[in-house]
Amino acid sequence: MSTIEAKSELPGTRANPPQAVGTLVLGGKSFDSRLIVGTGKYKSYDLMREALAASGARVVTVAVRRERLVNDRGESLLQFLDLTRYVILPNTAGCFTADDAVRVARLGRELLTQLQNPGATWVKLEVLGDKKTLLPDPAGTLEATRQLVADGFQVLAYSSDDPIAAVRLKEAGATSVMPAGSPIGSGQGILNRNNIVLCLELLKHGDPTYPVIVDAGVGCASDVSLAMELGADGVLLNTAIAHAMHPVMMAEAMKNATLAGRQSYIAGRIPKRLYASASSPWDGAISYIPGE
Protein backbone atom coordinates (compact mmCIF):
# COMPACT_ATOMS: atom_id res chain seq x y z
CA MET A 1 0.00 0.00 0.00
CA SER A 2 1.63 3.22 -1.06
CA THR A 3 -1.01 5.78 -0.19
CA ILE A 4 -3.69 6.37 2.39
CA GLU A 5 -6.63 8.19 0.90
CA ALA A 6 -7.73 10.68 3.54
CA LYS A 7 -10.22 12.57 1.46
CA SER A 8 -12.26 10.99 -1.29
CA GLU A 9 -14.62 13.09 -3.33
CA LEU A 10 -16.30 15.00 -0.54
CA PRO A 11 -19.46 16.92 -1.35
CA GLY A 12 -18.89 20.52 -2.33
CA THR A 13 -15.46 19.88 -3.78
CA ARG A 14 -14.34 20.44 -7.31
CA ALA A 15 -17.38 19.06 -9.09
CA ASN A 16 -19.64 21.27 -6.98
CA PRO A 17 -18.00 24.64 -6.40
CA PRO A 18 -18.46 25.60 -2.76
CA GLN A 19 -20.01 28.78 -1.50
CA ALA A 20 -17.81 31.74 -0.68
CA VAL A 21 -15.41 31.04 2.17
CA GLY A 22 -17.05 33.19 4.79
CA THR A 23 -20.71 32.94 3.88
CA LEU A 24 -23.11 30.63 5.66
CA VAL A 25 -26.50 30.36 3.98
CA LEU A 26 -29.03 29.09 6.44
CA GLY A 27 -32.80 29.23 6.38
CA GLY A 28 -32.85 31.70 3.52
CA LYS A 29 -30.44 34.06 5.24
CA SER A 30 -26.78 34.70 4.54
CA PHE A 31 -24.23 35.24 7.31
CA ASP A 32 -20.64 36.45 7.20
CA SER A 33 -19.66 33.97 9.90
CA ARG A 34 -19.93 30.20 9.87
CA LEU A 35 -19.73 30.01 13.63
CA ILE A 36 -22.85 29.79 15.80
CA VAL A 37 -22.32 30.24 19.51
CA GLY A 38 -24.35 29.71 22.64
CA THR A 39 -25.04 32.21 25.40
CA GLY A 40 -25.00 29.82 28.37
CA LYS A 41 -22.53 29.15 31.18
CA TYR A 42 -20.75 32.51 31.21
CA LYS A 43 -19.59 33.95 34.51
CA SER A 44 -21.27 37.25 33.66
CA TYR A 45 -23.36 38.76 30.92
CA ASP A 46 -20.64 41.33 30.26
CA LEU A 47 -18.18 38.52 29.58
CA MET A 48 -20.70 36.81 27.35
CA ARG A 49 -21.26 39.96 25.32
CA GLU A 50 -17.54 40.44 24.83
CA ALA A 51 -17.00 36.81 23.84
CA LEU A 52 -19.89 36.86 21.38
CA ALA A 53 -18.40 39.93 19.73
CA ALA A 54 -14.94 38.33 19.57
CA SER A 55 -16.36 35.17 18.00
CA GLY A 56 -17.74 37.10 15.04
CA ALA A 57 -20.89 34.95 15.18
CA ARG A 58 -24.10 36.37 13.80
CA VAL A 59 -26.36 33.62 15.10
CA VAL A 60 -26.54 32.90 18.82
CA THR A 61 -28.55 30.30 20.68
CA VAL A 62 -30.70 30.87 23.75
CA ALA A 63 -32.87 28.72 25.98
CA VAL A 64 -36.50 29.09 27.04
CA ARG A 65 -37.07 28.83 30.76
CA ARG A 66 -39.58 29.68 33.42
CA GLU A 67 -39.74 33.29 34.53
CA ARG A 68 -36.20 33.92 35.63
CA LEU A 69 -36.54 37.36 34.24
CA VAL A 70 -33.63 38.75 36.16
CA ASN A 71 -30.57 37.15 37.69
CA ASP A 72 -29.41 37.87 41.20
CA ARG A 73 -27.76 41.05 39.97
CA GLY A 74 -31.01 42.31 38.49
CA GLU A 75 -29.79 41.67 34.95
CA SER A 76 -31.51 39.84 32.13
CA LEU A 77 -29.96 38.17 29.10
CA LEU A 78 -31.83 40.39 26.68
CA GLN A 79 -30.16 43.52 28.07
CA PHE A 80 -26.85 42.14 26.82
CA LEU A 81 -27.84 40.89 23.36
CA ASP A 82 -27.85 43.30 20.45
CA LEU A 83 -30.99 42.14 18.68
CA THR A 84 -30.06 44.14 15.59
CA ARG A 85 -26.76 42.27 15.26
CA TYR A 86 -27.72 38.70 16.10
CA VAL A 87 -30.27 36.26 14.86
CA ILE A 88 -31.47 34.62 18.04
CA LEU A 89 -31.87 30.88 17.71
CA PRO A 90 -34.04 29.49 20.51
CA ASN A 91 -33.34 25.93 21.52
CA THR A 92 -35.47 23.19 23.04
CA ALA A 93 -32.73 22.09 25.43
CA GLY A 94 -34.00 20.05 28.34
CA CYS A 95 -36.83 18.41 26.38
CA PHE A 96 -37.10 14.63 26.41
CA THR A 97 -40.31 14.23 24.41
CA ALA A 98 -41.41 15.51 21.02
CA ASP A 99 -44.49 17.11 22.59
CA ASP A 100 -42.44 19.13 25.07
CA ALA A 101 -40.02 20.21 22.34
CA VAL A 102 -42.90 21.45 20.20
CA ARG A 103 -44.32 23.39 23.17
CA VAL A 104 -40.97 25.00 23.92
CA ALA A 105 -40.39 25.83 20.26
CA ARG A 106 -43.73 27.62 20.13
CA LEU A 107 -42.92 29.57 23.29
CA GLY A 108 -39.58 30.58 21.77
CA ARG A 109 -41.30 31.72 18.60
CA GLU A 110 -43.71 33.78 20.65
CA LEU A 111 -40.87 35.50 22.50
CA LEU A 112 -38.85 36.26 19.40
CA THR A 113 -41.93 37.50 17.59
CA GLN A 114 -42.43 39.97 20.43
CA LEU A 115 -38.80 41.01 20.02
CA GLN A 116 -39.19 41.23 16.23
CA ASN A 117 -36.08 39.14 15.75
CA PRO A 118 -35.65 37.19 12.51
CA GLY A 119 -34.98 34.03 14.51
CA ALA A 120 -38.68 33.85 15.41
CA THR A 121 -39.42 31.02 13.01
CA TRP A 122 -36.21 29.14 13.75
CA VAL A 123 -35.64 26.51 16.34
CA LYS A 124 -32.61 24.54 17.38
CA LEU A 125 -34.38 21.30 18.03
CA GLU A 126 -33.10 19.09 20.81
CA VAL A 127 -35.04 16.06 21.92
CA LEU A 128 -32.80 14.28 24.35
CA GLY A 129 -32.83 10.65 25.33
CA ASP A 130 -30.89 10.69 28.55
CA LYS A 131 -29.89 13.32 31.11
CA LYS A 132 -26.41 11.94 31.70
CA THR A 133 -25.23 11.76 28.12
CA LEU A 134 -27.58 14.37 26.59
CA LEU A 135 -27.53 12.24 23.47
CA PRO A 136 -30.42 12.89 21.10
CA ASP A 137 -33.47 10.64 20.94
CA PRO A 138 -33.67 9.92 17.21
CA ALA A 139 -37.34 8.90 17.21
CA GLY A 140 -38.44 11.90 19.26
CA THR A 141 -36.33 14.28 17.20
CA LEU A 142 -37.85 12.95 13.98
CA GLU A 143 -41.39 13.23 15.31
CA ALA A 144 -40.84 16.78 16.59
CA THR A 145 -39.22 17.79 13.29
CA ARG A 146 -42.30 16.65 11.39
CA GLN A 147 -44.65 18.55 13.70
CA LEU A 148 -42.60 21.73 13.72
CA VAL A 149 -42.06 21.79 9.96
CA ALA A 150 -45.84 21.39 9.52
CA ASP A 151 -46.25 24.34 11.88
CA GLY A 152 -44.03 26.56 9.73
CA PHE A 153 -40.77 26.36 11.66
CA GLN A 154 -37.30 26.29 10.19
CA VAL A 155 -35.89 23.37 12.12
CA LEU A 156 -32.17 23.09 12.82
CA ALA A 157 -32.08 19.59 14.18
CA TYR A 158 -29.47 18.42 16.66
CA SER A 159 -28.73 14.82 15.76
CA SER A 160 -26.35 12.04 16.56
CA ASP A 161 -23.62 11.49 13.99
CA ASP A 162 -25.60 8.55 12.55
CA PRO A 163 -25.75 9.30 8.81
CA ILE A 164 -29.09 7.53 8.31
CA ALA A 165 -30.73 9.33 11.23
CA ALA A 166 -29.44 12.57 9.72
CA VAL A 167 -30.95 11.76 6.33
CA ARG A 168 -34.31 10.96 7.90
CA LEU A 169 -34.35 14.40 9.54
CA LYS A 170 -33.61 16.06 6.23
CA GLU A 171 -36.39 14.07 4.59
CA ALA A 172 -38.74 15.25 7.34
CA GLY A 173 -38.03 18.82 6.26
CA ALA A 174 -35.24 19.99 8.58
CA THR A 175 -33.66 23.21 7.34
CA SER A 176 -30.33 21.95 8.60
CA VAL A 177 -29.13 18.79 10.27
CA MET A 178 -26.57 19.30 13.01
CA PRO A 179 -24.70 16.10 13.84
CA ALA A 180 -22.87 16.00 17.15
CA GLY A 181 -19.12 15.65 17.24
CA SER A 182 -19.43 14.18 20.75
CA PRO A 183 -21.75 14.66 23.74
CA ILE A 184 -22.85 18.21 24.57
CA GLY A 185 -20.33 20.06 26.71
CA SER A 186 -17.95 17.09 26.80
CA GLY A 187 -15.07 18.78 24.98
CA GLN A 188 -14.16 15.49 23.32
CA GLY A 189 -14.13 17.00 19.84
CA ILE A 190 -15.10 14.93 16.81
CA LEU A 191 -15.03 11.32 17.93
CA ASN A 192 -16.00 9.71 14.65
CA ARG A 193 -14.84 11.80 11.76
CA ASN A 194 -15.86 9.17 9.26
CA ASN A 195 -19.46 9.42 10.41
CA ILE A 196 -19.37 13.19 9.97
CA VAL A 197 -17.98 12.67 6.46
CA LEU A 198 -20.78 10.19 5.71
CA CYS A 199 -23.39 12.60 7.10
CA LEU A 200 -22.03 15.29 4.80
CA GLU A 201 -21.94 12.99 1.81
CA LEU A 202 -25.48 11.68 2.26
CA LEU A 203 -27.06 14.99 3.23
CA LYS A 204 -25.45 16.86 0.36
CA HIS A 205 -25.96 14.19 -2.28
CA GLY A 206 -27.58 16.00 -5.20
CA ASP A 207 -28.03 19.01 -2.92
CA PRO A 208 -24.54 20.42 -2.31
CA THR A 209 -25.71 23.62 -0.65
CA TYR A 210 -27.75 21.83 2.04
CA PRO A 211 -26.33 23.24 5.28
CA VAL A 212 -24.76 20.80 7.72
CA ILE A 213 -23.49 22.17 11.01
CA VAL A 214 -21.40 20.23 13.48
CA ASP A 215 -22.98 20.83 16.86
CA ALA A 216 -21.71 19.84 20.26
CA GLY A 217 -18.58 18.38 21.76
CA VAL A 218 -16.10 21.00 20.62
CA GLY A 219 -13.26 21.44 23.10
CA CYS A 220 -10.76 23.64 21.33
CA ALA A 221 -10.06 25.50 18.13
CA SER A 222 -8.56 22.54 16.27
CA ASP A 223 -11.87 20.66 16.72
CA VAL A 224 -13.58 23.48 14.85
CA SER A 225 -10.98 23.49 12.10
CA LEU A 226 -11.36 19.74 11.67
CA ALA A 227 -15.13 20.01 11.32
CA MET A 228 -14.72 22.71 8.70
CA GLU A 229 -11.97 20.79 6.89
CA LEU A 230 -14.28 17.80 6.62
CA GLY A 231 -16.70 20.04 4.72
CA ALA A 232 -19.17 21.17 7.37
CA ASP A 233 -20.92 24.43 6.57
CA GLY A 234 -20.57 25.66 10.13
CA VAL A 235 -19.97 24.78 13.74
CA LEU A 236 -22.14 25.42 16.78
CA LEU A 237 -20.52 25.54 20.21
CA ASN A 238 -20.94 27.04 23.65
CA THR A 239 -19.02 25.47 26.53
CA ALA A 240 -15.62 25.52 24.83
CA ILE A 241 -15.71 29.31 24.88
CA ALA A 242 -17.74 29.98 28.02
CA HIS A 243 -15.65 27.69 30.21
CA ALA A 244 -12.25 28.42 28.68
CA MET A 245 -9.74 30.04 31.00
CA HIS A 246 -9.91 33.14 28.82
CA PRO A 247 -13.27 33.07 27.05
CA VAL A 248 -12.78 36.16 24.89
CA MET A 249 -9.44 34.92 23.56
CA MET A 250 -10.92 31.48 22.93
CA ALA A 251 -13.83 33.08 21.09
CA GLU A 252 -11.38 34.76 18.76
CA ALA A 253 -9.49 31.47 18.34
CA MET A 254 -12.75 29.77 17.35
CA LYS A 255 -13.43 32.50 14.82
CA ASN A 256 -9.98 32.07 13.28
CA ALA A 257 -10.24 28.27 13.37
CA THR A 258 -13.55 28.38 11.52
CA LEU A 259 -12.06 30.51 8.78
CA ALA A 260 -8.84 28.50 8.61
CA GLY A 261 -10.73 25.22 8.41
CA ARG A 262 -13.03 26.47 5.67
CA GLN A 263 -10.13 27.88 3.67
CA SER A 264 -8.24 24.62 4.06
CA TYR A 265 -11.27 22.66 2.89
CA ILE A 266 -11.76 24.81 -0.19
CA ALA A 267 -8.06 24.99 -0.98
CA GLY A 268 -8.04 21.19 -1.06
CA ARG A 269 -5.70 19.20 1.13
CA ILE A 270 -3.07 16.86 -0.30
CA PRO A 271 -3.67 13.13 -0.04
CA LYS A 272 -2.03 11.40 2.90
CA ARG A 273 0.86 9.19 1.81
CA LEU A 274 2.57 6.35 3.57
CA TYR A 275 6.03 7.43 2.42
CA ALA A 276 7.74 10.77 2.48
CA SER A 277 7.97 13.11 -0.49
CA ALA A 278 11.05 15.34 -0.36
CA SER A 279 10.44 19.03 -0.79
CA SER A 280 14.05 19.70 -1.80
CA PRO A 281 15.34 18.29 -5.11
CA TRP A 282 17.52 15.15 -5.14
CA ASP A 283 19.27 16.38 -8.25
CA GLY A 284 22.49 18.11 -7.35
CA ALA A 285 22.63 16.83 -3.79
CA ILE A 286 26.29 16.42 -2.78
CA SER A 287 25.54 14.07 0.12
CA TYR A 288 25.73 10.30 0.43
CA ILE A 289 22.24 8.88 -0.20
CA PRO A 290 21.58 5.43 1.29
CA GLY A 291 20.65 2.80 -1.28
CA GLU A 292 22.04 4.72 -4.25
Partner 1 sequence: MSMVVIVNDQEHTLPEPLSVSALLVRLGLDKQPCAVEVNRKLVPKLRHPLHDLVEGDKVEVVTLVGGG
Q: Give me the 85-104 binding string for partner 1, x by CB under 8 A, dash otherwise.
A: ---x-xx-x---------x-
124 catalytically annotated: yes
Residue range at the interface with partner 1 (CB under 8 A); choices 167-175, 235-243, 247-255, 271-279: 235-243
Query: Long-range contacts made by residues 38-44, C-beta under 8 angstroms, separation at least 24?
Result: 38/236, 38/237, 38/238, 38/239, 38/242, 39/77, 39/81, 39/238, 40/238, 40/239, 40/242, 41/238, 41/239, 41/242, 41/243, 42/242, 42/247
Catalytic residue among 124, 170, 204, 255: 124
Closest distance of CB 93 from partner 1, Å: 5
Among positions 154-193, residues that touch partner 1 (CB under 8 A) are 184-185
Check residue 122 for interaction with partner 1 (CB under 8 A).
no
Sorted by sequence, the CB contacts under 8 Å of residue 185 that are 6+ apart come out as 134, 216, 238, 239
Sorted by sequence, the CB contacts under 8 Å of residue 151 that are 6+ apart come out as 102, 106
Closest distance of CB 114 from partner 1, Å: 5
Closest distance of CB 64 from partner 1, Å: 5
Bridge partner list, 123: 155
Residues with a catalytic annotation lie at: 124
Where does this chain bind partner 1 (CB under 8 A)? 38-42, 45, 48, 61-69, 76-78, 88, 90-91, 93, 103, 106-108, 110-111, 114-115, 184-185, 236-239
